[in-house]
Amino acid sequence: MLDLQEMRKEIDVIDDQIVKLFEKRMSIAEDVAKFKIETQKPVFDRTREQEKLETLGQKTHSAFNCCGVQELYQHIMSISRKRQYQLLQESAPPETGEFRVVETLPKDKVSVVFQGVEGAYSHAAMHAFFGENIQSYHVDTWKDAMEEIKKGNAFYAVLPIENSTAGIVQDNYDLLNEYNHVIAGEQIIRCRHVLMGVPGATLEDIQSVYSHPQALMQCREFLDSHETWHCREFSNTAAAAKKVAKDGDKTQAAIASPYAAEYFGLVPLATGIYSNPGNSTRFIIVTKEKIYCKDAKKISVSYELPHESGSLYNSLSHFIYNGLNMTKIESRPIAERNWEYRFFVDFEGNLSDSAVQNALRGLKAEAQNLRVHGNY
């Protein structure tokens, strides 16, 4: 056996040859692409690729190499297709679907709907994103908020999509799929729960604490250190603050956002009561206008996949081969198709980038029902 140094030298020689052959192959693949563009043939020909993989596998001398060569060629052909989509791109107008680019999002005096009540975290997220110069109102459910922008009663809706501790809000992923709206922005809000009471109340006065069950749970350690307090569950944190303000009773406290304290004229009695100080919720700003900012940095798409070995992996290759960084992948069941899924992928980029357009072109050709949910 050779020593490691010699073996690596031999490998280097082989690699030089492979690189040369790869470049030669890509150059011919470009000619094939030009031919396909002229004759309007599709870039992706599943049958031909399958046959090619069969043939190449048969040329190898071990089961492992057969498998290895076939895997290798799936990638070589995939890289070729990426280049072919690029050439197609250059010969065609940029494809951004129905989307149009804007300098900045309209924010001044727009009407915005959110779910919940004033003082809720969505209310805070809305003002953090838009400032104060808007017309806002609230509805009972997330679906109602989607309906409001569909009907044109509001230009934007603000919806929670993910909490850093609790995970995604599944219902809002489903609503993104159900409605033909787009995500135009996002806003992350720290959930800095505080204990609040009526003006003049002190910690010693408190007998009952009102809040959402999740918030009570998140402040468990703090609450456990006050054994005599009774905890009462409420439908949301802002509603709990509202109740305490309305009752005007010094023995009552609520756990809610500092924003809710301010809104309902309550005073903080204890802060930093939260067990995970970084806990945050990400809200999305949704509209029915198909717009994106020219400096938008993140794209959300979704698509369905057939039940095939490798189909998820292959679909993700469109992001990787175009140098796009995926930041998130989620799946949701497809209604009425049991145990089949729609995948939601977030990745970095702008709809005007050619790498993004190549990836979307490839995905559109190879996955089912691709949707671009927004660029923000």
Binders of a copy of itself among residues 290 to 309 (CB under 8 A) are 309
Q: Given candidates 155, 156, 259, 321, which one binds a copy of itself under the rule CB under 8 A?
A: 321
Nearest Cα neighbor of 163 from 155, 172, 152, 154 is: 172
Q: Which residue from 166, 231, 267, 270 is in contact with a copy of itself, where contact means CB under 8 A?
A: 166
The contacts found for 328-331 with CB under 8 angstroms, 24 or more apart, are 330/168, 330/173
- The size of the chain, in residues, is 376
107 vs 332 by CB, closer to a copy of itself = 332
7 lines the binding site for a copy of itself (CB under 8 A): yes
79 binds a copy of itself (CB under 8 A): yes
Is 9 or 100 the residue whose CB approaches a copy of itself more closely?
9
Which residues neighbour 347 within 8 Å (Cβ) at sequence distance 6 or greater?
Answer: 298, 299, 301, 319, 324, 325, 326, 327, 359
Q: Note whether 180 binds a copy of itself by CB under 8 A.
A: no
- Rounded Cα gap, residues 151 and 106, in angstroms: 19
Q: Is 213 in the site for a copy of itself (CB under 8 A)?
A: no
The Cα 368–Cα 371 span in angstroms is 9
Choose, by CB under 8 A, the member of 40, 47, 104, 167 that binds a copy of itself. 167
323 contributes a contact to a copy of itself by CB under 8 A: yes
- Which ranges of the chain does DSSP label H, i.e. alpha helix? 4-38, 46-58, 63-91, 121-130, 142-151, 170-178, 213-218, 220-224, 237-247, 258-263, 311-321, 354-366
Structure tokens, 205: 């006065």
Q: Which of 135, 165, 202, 369 binds a copy of itself (CB under 8 A)?
A: 165
Among 81, 83, 212, 242, binds a copy of itself (CB under 8 A): 83
Q: Which CB atom, from 105 or from 186, has the smaller least distance to a copy of itself?
A: 186
Interface positions, 263-282, toward a copy of itself (CB under 8 A): 276, 278-280
Binder to a copy of itself among 47, 64, 200, 227 (CB under 8 A)? 64
Q: Does 230 bind a copy of itself (CB under 8 A)?
A: no
d(CA 83, CA 78): 9
The one-letter amino acid at 209: V
If one asks whether residue 2 binds a copy of itself (CB under 8 A), the answer comes out as: yes
Terminal Cα distance for the chain, rounded: 57
- 290, 320, 353, 354: residue in contact with a copy of itself (rule CB under 8 A): 320
Q: How far is the CB of 95 from a copy of itself (least distance, A)?
A: 19
Kindly state whether residue 156 participates in binding a copy of itself, applying the rule CB under 8 A.
Answer: no
- Is residue 141 at the binding interface for a copy of itself, with CB under 8 A as the rule? no
Give whichever of 8 and 109 is closer to a copy of itself, judged by the CB atom: 8
Active site residue 347: no
Whichever of 21 and 92 has its CB closer to a copy of itself, that residue is 21
- 91, 170, 207, 271: which one binds a copy of itself (CB under 8 A): 170
Smallest distance from a copy of itself to CB 23, Å: 5
**Shortest Å, Cβ 92 to a copy of itself:** 18
> Which residues are within 8 A (CB) of 44 and not within 5 positions of it... i.e. 6 or more apart?
81, 362, 365, 366
**DSSP 8-state code for residue 132:** S
Told to judge if 281 belongs to the known catalytic residues of this protein, a careful annotator would answer yes
Least CB distance to a copy of itself at residue 178 (A): 13
Angstrom distances, CA of residue 182 to CA of 30, 53, 161: 35, 40, 13
Could you say which residues in the range 35-54 bind a copy of itself, by CB under 8 A? 35, 52
Does residue 228 touch a copy of itself according to CB under 8 A?
no
Residues that contact a copy of itself, how many (by CB under 8 A): 78
Q: Which helix (H) or strand (E) holds 160?
A: strand 156-163
- 227 phi/psi in degrees, rounded to 5: -60, -25
Q: What's the rounded Cα separation, in Å, for the pair 5 and 12? A: 11
Catalytic residues: 281, 283
